[in-house]
Amino acid sequence: MTVRTRFAPSPTGFLHVGGARTALFNWLYARQNGGKFILRIEDTDEKRNTAEAYKVIYDGLNWMGLDWDEGPDIGGEYGPYQQSERSSIYEKYLAQLEAGGHLYEDAGAIRFRSQRKPVLVEDMVCGSITFDMSNPATHPDMTIRRPDGSWIFHFVNVVDDIEMRLTHVLRGEDHLSNTPKHIEIYQALGVTPPKFGHIPLILNQEGKKLSKRDGGSSITYFLDAGYTPEAVANYLCLLGWSPGENREFLTSEDLLTHFDIATINRRNAIFDLDKCFWLNGQHLQHMTLERFEELALPFVDKAGVPYGSPDALRPALAIVKPKVKHLSDVPDWIGFLFTEDYAFDPEAVAKSLAKPGASDRLEALGNALSTLEDWTHAAIEAKLKETATALGVKAGELVHPARVAVSGRSVGPGLYEMFEVLGRERTLARFAKARSLPEIG
């Protein structure tokens, strides 16, 4: 039997990281088993049904690299894939339950009568749990349809999972207590339930369920802040799971081969943005330059960095890739390489360039570099050190003023790498420009 999993978000205009995680786990499970991953939009509340809300879901999943085999946008064998268009299907199942004597009316709404028998939930992550359904006070008969004819989540969710031939339902642990109710519907319909897997929740710093209000609870936050999807996926999998051997850095391909839903623990986990941040730096550092380029380009373009052509941009990206931690920092880290109109940070100028003798040392360095044959970072480094020795000063006495001269700041990419990217002409011109600054004595 082909594995079929799904992600069934409500179009709220917000993709929660917890939602992204369930989507990721379902996607991984489907891909690991040669199965299908289905996207279904649960929009029984029509107010939510807007094009922008759909776009948020599509964009979020696409960004994470999660592709779906069936969905509202691409169709599929068991469509439509949005609940607002499936009412006739629900009517059919409702009639079946009615015929079985499982329904009754209550103030215009339709309720499902519980059998009041114990229900066993065999969960892929939580194990076997038996729910005693005998107390109507704690397990009231659930409403299935409102007086106005609209449908309630529990019912349509089960019907769709049946109709769409889902074999595995991996979802948040907040649904664990709802599962026996869902199983009762499967039983009333005479259908074998799918396998369930309830994954622990993501908590905020206060240990509460991560909500919209919490910073970093939306997947767009990670996108905008310059996180890479591979780092976010890596981090999300690490929450509650470990591949063993103290391994933590996993590429998306590693995740596909190693991640195992059955071995995640049952404990809710607090989201640690610091660790995600660290992982992001690791991924940035380890990925190919091509991938880095692909991810950084939108940020560079958005900031309006005048890099000219991709060929001119590439070397600049190459020298910041090992150092930058957020893609959103890239424009700031490379901007000065593409304009002679870069700003001088007053503090940086005061700390090195304005120091006595700095201008002279810069001149000496400029003279030495003007005749350097091989304009590579290695040769530049050798020449700078040679010059320092000749002047009888430490390399830092040349390095620091030179850094501020060419970049206007005290923090940035490697100095020799910056020189190399700038080229001799512009490097020396910037030395001269810096020496003519009013602050320089």
89 binds RNA (CB under 7 A): no
Task: Kindly tell me which of 3 and 318 has the beta carbon lying closer to RNA.
Answer: 318
135 binds RNA (CB under 7 A): yes
Residue 275 falls in the annotated catalytic set: no
Least separation, in Å, of the C-beta of 174 and RNA? 3
92 binds RNA (CB under 7 A): no
The one segment of 112-120, 171-179, 302-310, 429-437 that binds RNA by CB under 7 A? 171-179
How many residues touch RNA under the rule CB under 7 A: the total is 78
Least separation, in Å, of the C-beta of 1 and RNA? 26
Q: Which residue has the tokens 């649904």?
A: 175
The one segment of 59-67, 73-81, 363-371, 405-413 that binds RNA by CB under 7 A? 405-413
Least separation, in Å, of the C-beta of 331 and RNA? 16
Which residue in the set 20, 142, 296, 369 belongs to the binding site for RNA (CB under 7 A)? 142
The set of residues, in sequence order, having a beta carbon less than 8 Å from that of 63 and lying 6+ positions away, is: 219, 223, 229
Task: Kindly tell me which of 123 and 293 has the beta carbon lying closer to RNA.
Answer: 123
> Is the Cβ–Cβ distance between 94 and 110 less than 8 Å?
yes
Task: Kindly tell me which of 63 and 271 has the beta carbon lying closer to RNA.
Answer: 271
410 binds RNA (CB under 7 A): yes
Least separation, in Å, of the C-beta of 179 and RNA? 9
Least separation, in Å, of the C-beta of 344 and RNA? 15
Task: Kindly tell me which of 3 and 48 has the beta carbon lying closer to RNA.
Answer: 48
The one segment of 22-30, 51-59, 92-100, 204-212 that binds RNA by CB under 7 A? 204-212
173 binds RNA (CB under 7 A): yes
Task: Kindly tell me which of 117 and 301 has the beta carbon lying closer to RNA.
Answer: 117
Task: Kindly tell me which of 225 and 395 has the beta carbon lying closer to RNA.
Answer: 395
44 binds RNA (CB under 7 A): yes
The set of residues, in sequence order, having a beta carbon less than 8 Å from that of 310 and lying 6+ positions away, is: 293
Sign of CA dihedral 376, 382, 388, 390: negative
118 binds RNA (CB under 7 A): no
User: Which residue is catalytic, options 55, 208, 212, 302?
Assistant: 212
Which residue in the set 139, 321, 361, 383 belongs to the binding site for RNA (CB under 7 A)? 139
393 binds RNA (CB under 7 A): no
SS (H, E, C) the chain: CCCEEEECCCCCCCCEHHHHHHHHHHHHHHHHCCCEEEECECCCCHHHCCHHHHHHHHHHHHHHCCCCCEECCCECCCCCCEHHHCHHHHHHHHHHHHHCCCEEEECCEEEECCCCCCEEEEECCCEEEEECCCCCCCCCCCEEECCCCCECHHHHHHHHHHHCCCCEEEEEHHHHHHHHHHHHHHHHHCCCCCEEEEECCEECCCCCECCCCCCCCEHHHHHHCCCCHHHHHHHHHHCCCCCCCCCCCCCHHHHHHHCCHHHCCCCCEECCHHHHHHHHHHHHHHCCHHHHHHHHHHHHHHHCCCCCCHHHHHHHHHHHCCCCCCHHHHHHHHHHHHCCCCCCCHHHHHHHHCCCCHHHHHHHHHHHHHCCCCCCHHHHHHHHHHHHHHHCCCHHHHHHHHHHHHHCCCCCCCHHHHHHHHCHHHHHHHHHHHHCCCCCC
Token pair for 379: 């040769």
- Kindly identify the residues of this chain, within the stretch 249-308, that bind RNA according to CB under 7 A: 263, 265-270, 272, 274-275, 277-278, 281-282, 285
Least separation, in Å, of the C-beta of 71 and RNA? 15
Beta strand 202-203 with 269-270 is: parallel
The one segment of 74-82, 106-114, 187-195, 421-429 that binds RNA by CB under 7 A? 106-114
Task: Kindly tell me which of 244 and 308 has the beta carbon lying closer to RNA.
Answer: 244
Least separation, in Å, of the C-beta of 189 and RNA? 19
Task: Kindly tell me which of 60 and 413 has the beta carbon lying closer to RNA.
Answer: 413
- Kindly identify the residues of this chain, within the stretch 206-235, that bind RNA according to CB under 7 A: 207-209
Residues in contact with RNA, shown as a per-residue x/- string from 349 to 388 under the rule CB under 7 A: --------------------------------x-------
Q: Which residue has the tokens 């964009």?
A: 59
Measured distance CA(421)–CA(419) in Å, rounded? 5
419 binds RNA (CB under 7 A): no
Catalytic residues: 212
